[in-house]
Chain A
């Protein structure tokens, strides 16, 4: 263990602890934009800078190891000034449309500007004709509004490290640097799998869900924890519910609540929820009579099916029947399905969609 003083408070941490972790342990609230505990460190946003006694420059807490006898100030005048100026620099290139932004209320840039009283930027420039980064991307899922991008590169790292798609990276340099697919094309023409992990990690409104757009801001929706039903993996997701309707799906990244996927989802889990309130959705079984489908009760449908199965078995034998099961049901249900075929019907004709 090493000991250091943070904002006048002495604490002990194991060797190898970063200053960010140590400061948070000491109760200091350190702002971060590029830091993400699940992603490799970047050390680039410089919001987590703190002052270490004896060091000429401020150091980024997320990438600086705590050292024995360090004396750290987390809100010294230089620290606060640097954070304010960084926020002003980011505001100067940021499309300030908070009132219609999907991330309003869950935006780190907004939160930190509020915290440090940054209402305006002195660096907006004389002509307001700086480069624009907006990107029309005709895909049904992910809205890319890079005029709101703060270049934290969390999306790039999530795409590479969580999903493994490597669909996006930084192109160009300096102030012209922006997030792009290869040759700056659309996501559809890239290795993007539309998992939306980039949306999950984006701290601002640069990447948002097109499916949930306009249906409710974060603070207007109730969050209901549930398990995705699309496949047997069992990913935890969070339904965003407003007026008893599902208006979005977000991630829960806490390992305790989301042990299987830690927030990561696939395109179906994250974007494929609009069927819930769809008028096309089947809500009762249907029985075909004279070429027409009519609604039926579950009892009637099950009786009808059982009678038909018995009839076929009697006429053609048990091997004339087969069960085709689904990855959308649980292991236990799949077990029961094969049991039904083997024990009740008497056939080994059992297969599963996941095998195809």
Chain B
């Protein structure tokens, strides 16, 4: 029987997230203290050993990412990705609202590891109240002396989904159009204002204090071996308990939906679940006994992504849902590269045609062909992932398309 395991959210609603003093009373800033007592290399090795992997969606080993930062660079930055643009995802907001000091501590730990004195939090434009909260939390942490000489500034986005992509995020902080850069160079080598920069997700940073305080082995022992720790999942759609849960990464999707989530709303039957946000694959019933960790999800052609869990009941029209998703990507493509700029527009066009009952099997072939080329040739993750909902539903719910043709 699956149960919540609250690590990041252990003191949710028991402490004032803005108050550094409250946080210290429940053991906060112990991790940072430990980190500062360690040799930088040993600190990075400790994070590596914990197996902590990026919680923003790419699942890259956090310690490994930090190790790419050249130590001799005079200026380095720590950037927190709080763009949280994936529809149905609000875990980063929850972390800030329940445990903002853990995020600040995590960033300072990263700052210690790469010897950076400056952090930025890039907060999505739709979260002005979180910006206020964070500013107060930073003020409190600075006043308490907990952060030492590590400074954190909050920058606000303007509502572009693509700015959740780390290089577009950097461009946006620099004041440019939110467009991704080509990689390499990776931000770890040449990021914000051309200085080495570590960009991590809110949840990744927030994991760090406990890793340092309790040890890498403790963290590595939680959840799935290759993607250890807990994950905050946000349940939306046709689900009884449309809320968030912090779970160990070895729970199955079925447990998330049917045990914690209370099953499909109003006693209806399950049809599909989209995990990881709008660019995630739609997963049919037969794959629900998969663990939610990064690699297990990858093995069924899906992605854990941001941890959004969007459930559809038996009455939902998959083609209609995917058509709406294709509109979203058409709107959110930045327009830089050809496959995404033109591809998202044409995918939406064809999806609308199919959804309106004017499609042909040729249209489905064209959707799949375009999907393949976008995944292979688009510049950034947005263009590469945008066709996945279409591709996965043609694979698992082909009959729904055929019904409309």
Residues of A within 8 A of B (CB): 41-47, 49, 57-58, 60, 63-65, 78, 81-82, 85-86, 89-90, 92-93, 122-123, 125-126, 130, 150-151, 169-170, 172-177
Nearest-CB distance from B117 to chain A (Å)? 30
Nearest-CB distance from B342 to chain A (Å)? 4
Bound together, the chains give a CA A57 to CA B373 distance in angstroms of: 10
- Which residues of A sit under 8 angstroms from B384, Cβ to Cβ? 57
Bound together, the chains give a CA A169 to CA B335 distance in angstroms of: 13
* Interface set, chain B 253-305, CB cutoff 8 A to A: none
Bound together, the chains give a CA A41 to CA B185 distance in angstroms of: 12
Q: Is the CB of B375 within 8 A of A92?
A: no
Query: Which of A46, A126, A130, A177 has a CB less than 8 Å from the CB of B377?
Result: A46
Task: Give 5 nearest A-B pairs by CB, closest first.
Answer: A177-B335, A89-B342, A175-B345, A43-B182, A174-B333
Bound together, the chains give a CA A60 to CA B377 distance in angstroms of: 8
- Which residues of A sit under 8 angstroms from B375, Cβ to Cβ? 57
Bound together, the chains give a CA A320 to CA B30 distance in angstroms of: 91
Q: Within 8 Å of chain A (Cβ to Cβ): is B18?
A: no
Bound together, the chains give a CA A58 to CA B339 distance in angstroms of: 12
Q: Is the CB of B335 within 8 A of A176?
A: yes
A173 and B342 contact, Cβ closer than 8 Å, known pairs A63-B182, A122-B366: no
Q: Is the CB of A174 within 8 A of B330?
A: yes
* Interface set, chain B 316-354, CB cutoff 8 A to A: 330-339, 341-346, 349, 353
Bound together, the chains give a CA A173 to CA B178 distance in angstroms of: 10
Q: Is the CB of A175 within 8 A of B377?
A: no
Bound together, the chains give a CA A337 to CA B42 distance in angstroms of: 76
Kindly list 16 other residue pairs between chains A and B, CB separation below 8 angstroms, not including A123-B366, A173-B335.
Answer: A42-B336, A46-B339, A46-B379, A49-B376, A60-B182, A65-B184, A82-B339, A82-B373, A86-B339, A89-B339, A90-B342, A125-B349, A169-B177, A175-B330, A175-B341, A175-B344
Q: List 22 A-B contacts (CB under 8 A).
A: A41-B182, A43-B182, A45-B337, A46-B337, A46-B338, A47-B338, A49-B376, A57-B376, A60-B379, A64-B184, A82-B373, A82-B377, A86-B338, A130-B345, A130-B349, A150-B338, A151-B341, A170-B177, A174-B331, A175-B330, A177-B334, A177-B336
- Which residues of B sit under 8 angstroms from A86, Cβ to Cβ? 338-339, 342, 373, 377
A58 and B342 contact, Cβ closer than 8 Å, known pairs A65-B184, A126-B349: no
Bound together, the chains give a CA A237 to CA B346 distance in angstroms of: 42
A92 and B346 contact, Cβ closer than 8 Å, known pairs A44-B379, A86-B373, A174-B330: yes
- Which residues of B sit under 8 angstroms from A64, Cβ to Cβ? 184
Q: Within 8 Å of chain A (Cβ to Cβ): is B378?
A: yes
Bound together, the chains give a CA A151 to CA B333 distance in angstroms of: 14
Q: Within 8 Å of chain A (Cβ to Cβ): is B396?
A: no
- Which residues of A sit under 8 angstroms from B331, Cβ to Cβ? 173-174
Q: Within 8 Å of chain A (Cβ to Cβ): is B2?
A: no
Q: Within 8 Å of chain A (Cβ to Cβ): is B358?
A: yes
A45 and B333 contact, Cβ closer than 8 Å, known pairs A57-B384, A125-B346: no
Bound together, the chains give a CA A57 to CA B339 distance in angstroms of: 13
Bound together, the chains give a CA A75 to CA B375 distance in angstroms of: 18
Nearest-CB distance from B381 to chain A (Å)? 10
The closest CB in chain B to the CB of A174 belongs to B333
The closest CB in chain B to the CB of A86 belongs to B338
Q: Is the CB of B379 within 8 A of A43?
A: yes
Q: Is the CB of B334 within 8 A of A173?
A: yes
Nearest-CB distance from A265 to chain B (Å)? 29
- Which residues of B sit under 8 angstroms from A130, Cβ to Cβ? 345, 349
Bound together, the chains give a CA A57 to CA B177 distance in angstroms of: 25
Bound together, the chains give a CA A151 to CA B334 distance in angstroms of: 12
Q: Is the CB of B330 within 8 A of A44?
A: no
Highest count of chain B CB atoms <10 Å: which of A64, A126, A170: A126
Highest count of chain B CB atoms <10 Å: which of A41, A123, A173: A173
Nearest-CB distance from A283 to chain B (Å)? 51
Bound together, the chains give a CA A151 to CA B377 distance in angstroms of: 16
